[in-house]
Structure 1
Amino acid sequence: MSYFDPIVRYQPKIEEVDFIVPERIREACRYRGYTYKEAAKLCGIPERKFGRMANGHTEIPDNYIFNLMKGLGFPKKFFYQIKWERV
C-alpha cells in the first residue's frame, strides 16, 4: 500500500462579496436550462444588457438583483458568492 492517495476529496471554497458575480448568473441559467434570451425575458432585462452582464462585460447594477431572483428562481445570497475551485 502506498502513502500516496490519488483520490483527493476537495470542497470548493465559497466567499461572500458585495457585488453581483457574473459567473453565478451563468450558473443559474445553465442550471435552469435557459438561454440568455429566455432568462432575460423572465428577468425583465433587455437581452443585450443581460448577455453583457452575464459575461462580465459590464457592471451589474444592484437594482437588478430582484429581477434576477424572480426570473431565475435563486436567493439573493446565491448571486453574491464567489466559488473558488481547485485547479
Structure 2
Amino acid sequence: MKPTVGRIVHYVSHGTPGGEYVSQCRAAIVTATDPDPEDVPEPGQVFAGLAVLAPEGMFFNSMVLQDEDSHAGGTWHWPEREGS
C-alpha cells in the first residue's frame, strides 16, 4: 500500500542508548510523499514526511523510511490489525 498525505501510520521512536526510554510506536500523520528519486538510497524504498504525535509533544520529520519487518527506531510502518 502506498502512503498518501493525511493517512495515519506508526512511527517507531529511537529510545535511548542507556535504555531509560525504550523504542515504541507513536501515532503519526503522513505530511509528504514521493521524494525526489535521486534522494532515495535504494530503489524500491518508500519514504514519507511525518508529523509524529508523542506524549512529550509533536515533531516533524522528513524522509522517514518505511520498515514493515523489523520496525527499527526512526522508521514508520502501517498500524497492525487487531483480531476481533
TM-score bin (small chain): under 0.3
- Greater percentage in strand: 2
Compare relative contact order (CA 8 Å, sep 6+) and give the higher one, 1 or 2: 1
The structure with more radius of gyration: 1
- Greater percentage in helix: 1
TM-score (normalizing by structure 2): 0.24
